[in-house]
Amino acid sequence: MAENFDWAQTVDRLKIAERLSAQRPLGMARLNVCIQVNVDGGATKSGVVAEHALELAEAMVKLPNLQLRGIMSIPDDTPDFEAQCAVHKRAASIFDAIKCSGLAGLEHFDTLSMGMTGDLEAAVAAGSTMVRVGSGIFGRRTYGTPTP
């Protein structure tokens, strides 16, 4: 994977970051990565818990073939705008805490990737710099048995 992409936004463990760095071919630009943070604390969600995000960032900035660019979050799906805003503000505060930590290697830490089709307004209001609007462009996903 590390040779086929410019970005990976779902890095939530040091083991994954180390593997991406090790597999990035020599001569290629550093792979841009975001730490996926589980801002809701949901057991079924991927992402590092908020309390360990800075610790993961400290380890990731030392990896030679990665460029830590920011954090990414996918909150629980809710139509409640105020609830959306609250979760996105939590993600923004985690981003700010890492950015203001004084950690060396954060010269390009500029990406707060949060917000999808159903909550992009709340995400932008909370400071998102990258939204993911797949359903708004391609339509909702259908799950189940594919038709022949």
What is the residue-wise DSSP string for 34-92? EEEEESS--TTS-SEEGGGHHHHHHHHTT-TTEEEEEEEE-PPP-S-HHHHHHHHHHHH
- Residue 89 forms part of a structural domain: yes
Domain span including residue 43:
7-138
Helix or strand (DSSP H, E) at 8 = strand 7-11
| One-letter identity of residue 99 | K
Q: For residue 130, what pLDDT band results from cuts at 50, 70 and 90?
A: confident
Question: What percent of the chain clears pLDDT 70, i.e. is strictly above it?
Answer: 89
Q: Does the structure show a pLDDT above 90 at 78?
A: no
Domains in the chain: how many in total? Answer: 1
If one compares 44 and 75, the residue with the highest pLDDT of the two is 75
Of the candidate ranges 33-37, 97-101, 123-127, 132-136, the one whose mean pLDDT is the lowest: 132-136
Q: For residue 121, what pLDDT band results from cuts at 50, 70 and 90?
A: confident
Q: DSSP letter at 144?
A: S
Report the sign of the C-alpha dihedral through residues 13, 76, 92, 50, in that order. negative
- Residue 143 forms part of a structural domain: no
pLDDT for position 62: 97
Q: Quote the mean pLDDT of the chain.
A: 89
- Residue 73 forms part of a structural domain: yes
CATH number for 97 = 3.20.20.10
Q: Does the structure show a pLDDT above 60 at 63?
A: yes
- Residue 57 forms part of a structural domain: yes
